[in-house]
Structure 1
């Protein structure tokens, strides 16, 4: 069923996940701009009206490197020495040197279609592939960013584009390596990209910025970027992902990376601190108090051997978090949330960790919290079914054995923790259907372009 064919732009849901939780008999209305204009509770189904049994807000993928989708599954062979994040990174650099503008669009479109099919309706793109393979700027400096935005438009996913400041190879302003030449950028370069993309901003697309890390950008640069960026724009940064990074920061600055960044006085609710895997108890409390969002990317953190985020203490301190697929070993919010919880169970040898006094259902707690954190990190009006927010929603397959006849209070637990079938049936972004019966509406042509791209890249 294609709801956007109906002129009245509405849907009746037997059960819709509103801010207060599952609510019966809800009618959603949205306007031509794709924003929810009215929510009716205690509604009555009208003859011939489009309807859904289980409808909930789509998730924001708050951390993506789209080009790395092309590498998924290709780095799982052991080398001649102990493999780590750092050996994986070397392979990623070599791969990144060859991707053309047309190829990054094909790769990103494939990724975003997959994300949409699994329930993501928005993505924060941490974009640092700026230059051509020789290291020169393109005639249009925003060429690569615009190609990624074109992929978002092609697939219908909402986006927060984050041009990445990447000036150094390591702490103490170590010069970039030759294999990092496509990432090279200073503060003025990033501000130019933000300016070039300004006219593209809309309810569907926000533009912020991202200092890559304290390894790749100095505190002076970060301060200059934050002060020059238009007010209210999202700011994302990798931090404390690996113990080696923490030790190098201490050697260079006498302080740990989270401590060093927070002491700058720059961090507030605009920020998303990606990974933040290795924090002291005091840093956990301080990040929570800053109102920033922790960007947890469980499948990538597991794939790269990063470690476990300290979720219980962070939640106890009132911390906010969202989820991202990062290097795209997975593109399912269910898998990110499942392994966020399972990682804590393994670490603590307990069960049902991600809950609160108000919400004892683990699946509901995780989905609600990640919706809120992802929305904040994106800087967009998403993450809840409420008037003025985007009409971004997911309809689950209520006929699937895992959901058929299930009491609604168990739906999110079953979806997240029972089996690996994709239970997403239909997806709408800005009121427009992009996934129908589990398939993206442009899936055939997107997959063909991706296959052509990968044949070329794998021949290198």
Structure 2
């Protein structure tokens, strides 16, 4: 039985059309599109300007508790920030992570995200012993289900503390001990998720934390043993120190090392890719890989500005993620991508508004192995409507809202043809701020209890 979604105005292929009606099938997929129509009885009516929903291509849900807490004004760096992140990771339990992730995913939905790639490596107990039955992973699946967001759980291989370095105590819970053990657990995890969740909403992908955390012999084993149909993500060249250490240990950059082991390809999503050589850029482009930029996080951590336009010109697909959630706002991520290019190049218009929308929606969905959100038949009916007359957007060309709007202007979010959020409030869970405050307070208490 089909239902209808009627859009007062819709941004399709860079053009604004009026009276766009979508017929949506029982699976939440767009079956047919009409333009210049009026709504029919029973249609979901979306006012304002409707655009494809955002697809968050990189998330660490528990990092959300660090927002607004890591800015001392002293000798802050990525590495000092990481110590606070390890403290938070050490305090997580399956129950606490489910509550926190539910709140974070609810915040994402109200901001306009309808899918998320969760880069997950907090697998085990703090001493490295396993939880029974994939407890941490199932907690994240249930959190996504409660928030109504599509989740691709990127189960992450993490085996070393650095090149030729053992794991530190705070990293023990991340590791399965070997590439073979990780592959075995990943296979069993996929069976568990298939039995528990609808794969159109909750599924499993794979990730390697980084080349510094996955030794070269493990890269070789994973390249040979990993299901080729799984999406594969990896942090790449986020910090110059990573590149220097990789060159010292292997004689290659991280991208070149992945190429050596046959891990570059269309299914690969290289996250950050901030500090690349011209050869790295060409290798990623030739492979048709996705590069996931996280502009708000890269700015917050002083990582640098990655060569997004050069990567796109070389043939790589650019996607966007909110990573550590210094902000959760797909509109600001779009704007920051273009602004970073302008700052680095001194040239405006490196990414047109239509390019920014593709990066935040289609490319992020593709990196998850999911259907694109949008208006065309066969796409997921995942949409967000925007107020074109707010303080921020009034007078703007509707086709250029990517350079004007913020998540505050999102008036409705639709997942699979069903309304999920309105004006910052999650329809099932209420105010995400209340949920986040409660979960953060519990995590703070757990961190204090764990301190000597």
Regarding TM over 0.5, the answer is yes
1:250 corresponds to which residue?
247
Is 2:62 the partner of 1:64? no
2: CA distance, partners of 1:46 / 1:444: 29
CA-to-aligned-CA distance 1:324-350 (integer Å, 9 cap, x gap): 011110111111121122122222223
Match of 1:92 among 72, 85, 109: 85
CA distance in 2, matches of 1:9, 1:94: 47
Is 1:284 the counterpart of 2:284 in the alignment?
Answer: no
Query: When the two structures are superposed, what TM-score results if normalisation uses the length of structure 1?
Result: 0.90
Deviation per residue, 1:227-257 (Å, 9 max, x gap): 4333421100001100000000000001111
Q: Secondary structure at the match of 2:248?
A: helix
Unaligned runs of 5+ in 2: none
Aligned ranges 1:152-167 → 2 under 5 Å:
152-167=144-159
CA displacement 1:60-88 (0-9 Å, x = unmatched): 11000101111211111145xx3321121
Stretches of structure 1 that go unaligned for 5 or more consecutive residues are 1-6, 355-361
Report the CA distance shift for 1:446/1:154 in structure 2 as closer, same or farther (over 3 A): farther
In the alignment, which of 128, 133, 142 is matched to residue 126 of structure 2?
133
The offset of 1:421, in angstroms, is: 6.4
Aligned to 1:427: 413
Decide whether the 8 Å contact of 1:403 with 1:411 is kept in 2.
yes
* 2-structure distance, mates of 1:8, 1:88: 49
Give the equivalent residue in structure 1 for 2:263.
Answer: 266
Measure the CA separation in 1 of the matches of 2:171 and 2:41.
60
> 2:167 — aligned with what?
176
Q: 1:446 to 1:105 in 2, by over 3 A?
A: farther
For residue 377 of structure 2, the aligned residue among 377, 387, 393 is: 387
- Paired with 1:326 and 1:399, the residues of 2 have a C-alpha distance of 30
**Structure 1 residues 208, 51: CA separation in 2 closer, same or farther (over 3 Å shift)?**
same
Write out per-residue CA displacement over residues 365-424 of structure 1, whole angstroms, 9 at most, x where no aligned residue: 211233232121010112332222211111112442444565433333332xxxx56110
Change (3 A) 1:217 1:9: same
Q: Pairwise mapping of residues 174-323 of structure 1 onto structure 2 (< 5 A)?
A: 174-185=165-176, 186-187=178-179, 188-189=181-182, 190-191=185-186, 192-199=188-195, 200-323=197-320
Aligned to 1:359: none
SS at match of 2:88: helix
Q: CA deviation at 1:353?
A: 2.0
Corresponding residue SS for 1:13: strand
| 2-structure distance, mates of 1:130, 1:85 | 23
Which deviates the most, 362-371 or 13-22? Answer: 13-22
C-alpha distance 383-225 of structure 1, shift in aligned 2 (>3 A): farther
Q: Is the contact between residue 13 and residue 55 of structure 1 (CA under 8 Å) also seen in structure 2?
A: yes
Determine the structure 2 residue equivalent to 1:11: 5
Is the 1:364–1:413 contact (alpha carbons within 8 Å) kept by the matching residues of 2?
no
Q: Distance in 2 between matches of 1:299 and 1:161?
A: 22
Aligned partners of 1:149 and 1:352: how far apart in 2?
39
SS of the residue corresponding to residue 321 of structure 1 reads strand
CA RMSD of aligned residues (A): 2.1
- Describe the SS at the equivalent of 2:328: coil
> What SS is found at the alignment partner of 1:55?
strand
List 4+ stretches of structure 1 deviating above 6 A: none
Tell me which moved more, 149-158 or 46-55: 46-55
